Amino acid sequence: AVCARSRRRAGGGGGGAVLLPSMLMFAVILASSGLLLMIERGILAEVRPLHPAAGSDTPRRHAVADRGDGDLEHQVLQDTRNRTIHTVCGQRAMPRSVWDLTPGQRKTVLKHLLVSDKYRFLYCYVPKVACSNWKRILKVLGGALESVNVKLKMDHKSDLVFLGDMKPDEIRYRLKNYYKFLFVRNPMERLLSAYRNKFGEIKEYQLKYGVEIVKRYRKNGAQSAGDDVTFSEFLRYLLDEEAERMNEHWMPIYNLCQPCAVHYDFIGSYERLNADANYVLEQVRSPSFIRFPERQSWYKPVTTETLHYYLCNTQRQLIKELLPKYILDFSLFAYPLPNITSKFCRQ
């Protein structure tokens, strides 16, 4: 049924219909591991979460060298990501390059790949996964900023080079020859971070998205200024949105960076941010004085307790219905599904 719906959504009437990658991967995962049934029964929710560590490249590239940190958990997660990406991306109908993607998918990933020609690397930025600090580093490496610690509001476009602005032959060369990396984060934690930041602090998002969300999901919500969106209303909005048309701050990482079409040399983790980021800087041979910036003092991180509070106070069925939309981020990057069992939430 999933495959049939995918073909219809892909607009294929004839025998040459191609499955949308996101739906195909979802179908593969469901068929191979019974994830949907496990979600429904709460089985995976009862698995004690690991603390995700640095990821690795796909098997089509050389393996990331062991940094000798003796961290068994890190090695297990690294291997899990490696194997999962290899299995899912190895499916016959999956894209092998960005040129196998639809025009819309290709446009999305290319506009999220930042380029450093001087240090020969591509970085796929993911909003709410420390991308502002990475952009600072690119500006320092490019000479636009003197230091990563300069206190100024981040301009997310000026003094940055995007792969999508280049010609096809220039894109091909860089994808083939440059070091490529991205950073990932627990999907639900990333969503909560986006929700608290955009609807709690940013007037532009309150007016552009908040007003519409409240009007759509709340009786007598026409008078809202968009600054009182509840987390449940936000999740209902995500459930009704197409993943490929979402705002980048809550679009699934898979759709943003296309890890099957782009063969990343390294996938770092938000949970090991400084260690993984400095490892990448060593790999691209950046100047020794450049180190990943420390977290700003004003920044309020999403703690494990905060995430549990929001999830346990949200209708369980709503979360279960939303999980398939982000299931590729959970599975490809080895994040546990959220624990929302009654027993856990009572504790």
pLDDT tens digits along 113-140: 999 999 999 999 999 999 999 999 999 9
Q: Which two tokens stand for residue 144?
A: 């636009």
Number of domains within the chain = 1
17 domain-assigned: no
45 domain-assigned: no
For 154, 186, 203, 311, 319, the CA distances from 200, given in Å and listed in that order, are 19, 21, 8, 18, 21
Phi first, then psi: give them for residue 294, nearest 5 degrees: -70, 155
E strand residue ranges, 99-233: 113-116, 121-124, 179-184
Residue type, 226: G
Instruction: Provide the pLDDT confidence category of residue 48 given band limits of 50, 70 and 90.
Output: very low
pLDDT value at position 42?
43
83 domain-assigned: no
Higher-confidence residue of 270 and 78: namely 270
Q: What is the mean pLDDT of residues 6-27?
A: 42
For 217, 218, 222, 223, 248, the CA distances from 212, given in Å and listed in that order, are 9, 10, 9, 11, 18
323 domain-assigned: yes
Q: Which domain holds residue 140?
A: 94-192+236-346
pLDDT value at position 5?
42
**In 3D, which of 81, 96, 86, 126 has the Cα closest to residue 21?**
96
Q: For the chain, how far is it from start to end, CA to CA, in angstroms?
A: 38
pLDDT value at position 82?
82
Farthest-apart Cα atoms in the chain, separation = 59
Phi first, then psi: give them for residue 201, nearest 5 degrees: -135, -25
pLDDT at 208 over 70: yes
pLDDT value at position 182?
95
88 domain-assigned: no
Least confidently predicted of 10-14, 66-70, 202-206, 239-243 = 10-14
pLDDT at 202 over 60: yes
78 domain-assigned: no
pLDDT value at position 11?
42
Q: What is the rounded CA–CA span in Å between residue 337 and residue 347?
A: 18
Q: Show Cβ contacts of residue 72 under 8 Å, excluding neighbours closer than 6 positions.
A: none
pLDDT value at position 155?
67
Alpha-carbon torsion 263, 266, 272, 278, what sign?
negative
Q: What share of the chain is helix, strand, coil (3-state, %, to 5)?
A: 50, 5, 45
Statement: the pTM of the whole predicted model exceeds 0.85: no
Mean of all residue pLDDT scores within the chain: 82
Q: What is the mean pLDDT of residues 86-93?
A: 89
Q: Are 115 and 162 in contact (CB under 8 A)?
A: yes
219 domain-assigned: no
23 domain-assigned: no
